[in-house]
Amino acid sequence: MLINTSQLFSSKLKVSICAGVLLAVLSLSADNVGGNIFKTTYGTLIMFETVKSEDYDTLEYLRAADRVICKLLRRPSQKLQCRILLSANFKQDFNVLKVGSCINIYLPQNFSRRPDKQKLAGVLIRALLLTHSGIVPKERLNRIPDWLVTGVYGKLESKHQSQSILPVGGYPGLAALTLADELPVFSDSLNNALTPDEDGCAYELYRELCHFALERIYALSSITDNAIADIVILAAQEKYQDEEIFASTFGRLIIADYDKRLLKLYKDIPDNRGKIQRWFRHQANHRIINVFSPLPGKLVQEQFQKFRTIPYQFRNADNKQIAKCDLLELPRLFSRVESGRVLITGKSNELMQLINKTPMIIVSPMSELNTILLQIGNEPPPIVIRRLEKAVADVETAIKRQIAIESFMTAREASSLSPGLRYRREIVEVRRTEDVDWPSMKRFLDEVEKSYLND
């Protein structure tokens, strides 16, 4: 039975010839209920006043938003019917109303192409999270934590804009902070919301952080213990601050994961805040910097030289001062070193972390080195030293080869670029931030200019 959309739109629905061609394409990917109405996999109705060729992108975005949110909630509620209505004639930019047992989300038809897309997408995400949790949005829209909404938005933008076939998310800003060992305080940064209007480029980094956090909270959750659904339910009760909600949901899962996987890797036991930050640093080093997005060869070289330096203490020595030796000297000293086996295990874990973020050409010799490293204390020192010398030489050769390859490719790319292509790339880079609306920055510059002219 078709829904009578004349009660929802003031103007009569019209379908152009172009829309007819479009509908044939859309029927392959979305259930066409009839006319300008489409139904998602989870039952949400997407209703256009009129369908034009440029609306295909909007339809795909809305379908992706509904699919992503229902997947995050794992068990979306069927209690409320959801309808997304799009028109070019709405007086307001957006509205969310309860009509009978339905939640109507009103959006401008071109919302996915507007400068304030982030704001409108935020309304859509909040309304879908609440509706698919069986909660009537009403005035509760703004109670959903901003970091969760921004994380979903970042995931949608990544899916919508990326052309990569690899199932690996890109976090260039977080990758740079990870390499520089300058990661922000995880919980504080998430709960300190940024906006593109007020914070400009800093918002892009915040969006990366929220997207990364969303991926990790989903991985830690399950059907029986879904922190994302718990966040929505707690936020809708309007009794808890964002920090309290974070601590009882995401924070709780992080601490449990830390105690299970990381507690044995460190001698000290930090407080919960320290556990969360150490967990975040560990996740960033393993999830953001990896074989799909490895370290440059020169950074691998620096970190390998750092790895070769071994801090140690002699057993039963009067002087407990920490000394240092090279990796190749450790087999001869091992029998006198305090907690030698713990030291070897720690260095092996350190090398494995480096292996997980090195280019593939270096992985094999480093893995062989790790195997020999674990033989210290189990084989005669002279034999282990000979094996270590060969393994270290193989690793250093592989690193030099990687650096040479990177240098060659960089030079080759620079020499092969035509002046026109180089100019085009410069233009693309200059225009990259044009999609970010910075009214506050513009107002500030206007004030500075007026002050300068007055002086």
pLDDT tens digit string along 141-166? 778 999 999 999 999 988 776 544 45
pLDDT tens digit string along 366-408? 999 999 999 998 999 999 999 999 999 999 999 999 999 999 9
As a whole number of angstroms, the distance between CA 156 and CA 148 comes to: 12
Distance from CA of residue 171 to its chain's centroid? Answer: 6
Residues 328, 407: one domain? yes
Residues 16, 138: one domain? yes
In terms of Cβ atoms closer than 10 Å to its own Cβ (0-12, 13-18, 19+), residue 25 is: exposed
Q: Contact 80/103 with Cβ under 8 angstroms?
A: yes
Range of the domain at 380: 297-413
Residues 260, 364: one domain? no
Instruction: Please indicate, yes or no, if residue 154 is contained in any of the structural domains.
Output: no
Instruction: Please indicate, yes or no, if residue 148 is contained in any of the structural domains.
Output: no
Instruction: Please indicate, yes or no, if residue 341 is contained in any of the structural domains.
Output: yes
Contacts of 103 (CB under 8 A, 6+ apart): 80, 81, 82, 83, 96, 97, 127, 131, 136, 137
Partnered with residue 98 across adjacent β-strands are 103
Residues 312, 439: one domain? no
Instruction: Please indicate, yes or no, if residue 439 is contained in any of the structural domains.
Output: yes
DSSP track, 273-284: HHHHHHHHHHHI
pLDDT for residue 326: 94
How many Cβ atoms sit within 10 Å of the Cβ of residue 359? 19
Residues 305, 262: one domain? no
Residues 274, 170: one domain? yes
* Domain end (from 237, 265, 288): 288
Instruction: Please indicate, yes or no, if residue 52 is contained in any of the structural domains.
Output: yes
Residues 231, 103: one domain? no
pLDDT for residue 405: 93
| Helix, strand or coil, per DSSP, at residue 170 | coil
Instruction: Please indicate, yes or no, if residue 218 is contained in any of the structural domains.
Output: yes
Residues 261, 198: one domain? yes
Residues 338, 313: one domain? yes
Instruction: Please indicate, yes or no, if residue 50 is contained in any of the structural domains.
Output: yes
pLDDT for residue 283: 92
* Domain end (from 93, 115, 143): 143
Residues 433, 394: one domain? no
Residues 355, 431: one domain? no
pLDDT for residue 26: 43
Contacts of 158 (CB under 8 A, 6+ apart): 169, 170, 211
* Listed residue (233, 273, 264) closest to 249, CA to CA: 233
Residues 164, 138: one domain? no
Q: List the chain residues with pLDDT less than 70.
A: 1-34, 161-169, 317, 425, 428-442, 452, 454-455
* Listed residue (336, 441, 334, 442) closest to 388, CA to CA: 334
Count of structural domains within the chain: 4
* Domain end (from 269, 288, 307): 288
Instruction: Please indicate, yes or no, if residue 72 is contained in any of the structural domains.
Output: yes
How many CA atoms lie less than 13 Å away from 332 in the CB half-sphere? 8
